[in-house]
A and B are shown apart, each in its own frame.
Chain A
Amino acid sequence: MTLAIDVHELTRRFGNFTAVDSITFHVEEGEVFGFLGANGAGKTTAIKMLIGLLAPTSGRASVAGYDVLTQAEEVRRHIGYMSQRFSLYDDLTVRENITLYGGIYGLTDTQIRERGDALIRDLRLGKTADERVSALPLGWKQKLAFSVAILHQPAVVFLDEPTGGVDPITRRQFWEMIYAAAARGTTVFVTTHYLDEAEYCDRVSIMVDGRIAAMGTPEELKREHRVATLDELFVRLARPDATAGTAADHSSASGYE
């Protein structure tokens, strides 16, 4: 079985500071992989190296079977990316945004039309398809942004905190969309601050100070570390000096902003 993401001793230093410290992991095809870590743990730096925005200091990584350093162009062609910030253009309509990203990823006009229609139907955007994206509520925008990020049916899609600021119902719908994409064979690499969402992942890794402190299925991790929720484990790993009492004070849905 080929690996969707294969990372070997990947390291990135900024001067004396080591943001990502020799991490090694892999993600299998069709997996939903949760990439967790507190702010400043090195998640963003790691993602930037995987999507070709940042060169590694040492180590190697391949995405969709292509080396991120030597085959960056092929990598870009085979991935989708949804950043923390809104990826679509507010002053363009839903359909124009679809046409733009379809065109950038080399879809034919027919493909753009067919997939665009399907997308608009699935998201029930029918009436608003020709309205500017700025008019949509935040939850809809995020769902649309995700759909556009996988419009070209990439091998791997990177989602950087996709559900920030979104209401619980929309988050649930969002995760249904993630599962649907994974079922179609797209590997999902997702970072999140919501630890209840992490429980939805096939496997998760937790980054602390540039290293991967724990990795496995949510069940394995909970059993291994004898905790009731991933939230508890996260707090224990991310803040070793925090007592068990303060950890329990966090509700499982809270973010760590």
Chain B
Amino acid sequence: MTHRSPALTAFMTKEVRHILRDRQTLTILLLLPLAMVVLFGFALRNDVNDIRIVFVDPAPDYATTALRDRFLGNGRFEWVATAPAAADVEQFFRRGNADVAVVFEQGFAGRLAAGTPARILVVSDASDPNTGSRMQAYAIAVIASYQAELGAAGRGVRIVPETRMRFNPTLESVNLFVPGLIALVLTLVTALMTAISLSREKERGTLEILLVSPLRPWQIIVGKVLPYLLLAFANVITALLAAWIIFRVPFRGSITLLLLASMLYAMVGLALGVFIAARTSSQRAAMLGALTGTMLPSTLLSGMIFPIASLPGWLQPVTFAIPARWFIIIARGIMLKGVGLAYLWQPIVVLAVMLVFLMLLAIRSFKPRLA
């Protein structure tokens, strides 16, 4: 490398020195993933705890008792009352004394034993629809796990709550956040930092000197972004370790694939950063551009916090253009579902296409001749 392109090596050495010299920024960048995992994990988790529950059990038997115990042993539910009739539930909700009501059918155990459908009605307070559906899902998860136990014991079972939570049975939202967090941290160190660092050269006039030098535009871009790619790599590792050590977030798939995908996503971010720097004339503008152009959409339109399905119809197609959306699909797939390339090639190809497109755009915008 030294022999082939001393100019590029010299330029990259300088970039590394810039990064290492600015200790404060470097420290913040290195600790960022840790801080974010902790903050998001604890403060922003969507989990709902202390759900106040009312049971309606007109004819208690061994099955209803066992199921009630499951609810209370789960840790999320807090017992309020056990009422004899479904009509009583209404007043608990109206007074705001309950969040969820679980209504058992009469002769529940008998029906289970006979193999006929035993019905449970789960009613949840949906005045906040997000919380409501989440509580509902927790309740169904409890019922499903009881049903699974009975099934395993070889009895004919007909409680049929439909659940789509196969991959995340405990609904730990921190699991869902971590892939999004990695995307966010990567966007920050790649898009934001390159945009700032490149626009600084532009603002101070050193870029002009570089463009007049024998360095080619691609060498300037590569030299600029490669050191940040290393930093991004360190960040992914930190985020994964923090998630695993603090929150025991599972890791089911190939770590190599995830790291490769992360680097692909990081390069997309770097190309975006270069593009933003090329289109803005000051550091401040570049920073604001990077924040609104990459950080905001990566947080809000990527499915990281708000499910894409819950966005308004006209906004959903916009998410296709957000690189983070595709990276989150890949990262969740690898980490939580343990799937590989066979399932994830589509979002990977999308990111690769975005990368090629943005790189061409970035190099074009850095043509030394400004004609």
Interface residues of A (CB under 8 A from B): 48, 51-55, 72-73, 76-77, 79, 81, 83-89, 91-92, 96, 99-106
Contact = CB atoms under 8 A, between A and B. Distances in A.
Interface stretch (B200-208, B245-253, B333-341): B200-208
A252 to B, nearest CB: 29
Contacts of B212: 51-53, 76, 79, 81
A99 B13 contact: yes
A182 B211 CA distance: 25
B22 A91 contact: yes
B6 A103 contact: yes
Interface string B11-48: 10110011001100000000000000000000000000
Interface residues of B, number: 26
A100 B16 CA distance: 12
A103 B214 contact: no
B11 A104 contact: yes
Interface string B188-222: 00000000000000001110111111110000000
Given A55-B371, A76-B214, A83-B208, A103 B17 contact: no
A103 B9 contact: yes
Contact of A89 (B18, B368, B371): B18
A104 B211 contact: no
B369 A55 contact: yes
Contacts of B342: none
B108 to A, nearest CB: 73
B173 to A, nearest CB: 42
16 contacts: A51-B212, A52-B368, A52-B369, A53-B211, A72-B368, A73-B214, A76-B213, A79-B212, A85-B205, A89-B18, A92-B18, A96-B14, A100-B13, A101-B10, A103-B9, A103-B13
Interface centre among B11, B209, B214 (most CB of A within 10 A): B209
B283 to A, nearest CB: 14
Given A76-B213, A104-B213, A87 B205 contact: yes
A106 B7 contact: yes
Given A53-B368, A104-B10, A104-B210, 4 more contacts: A76-B214, A83-B208, A103-B11, A104-B11
A54 B205 contact: no
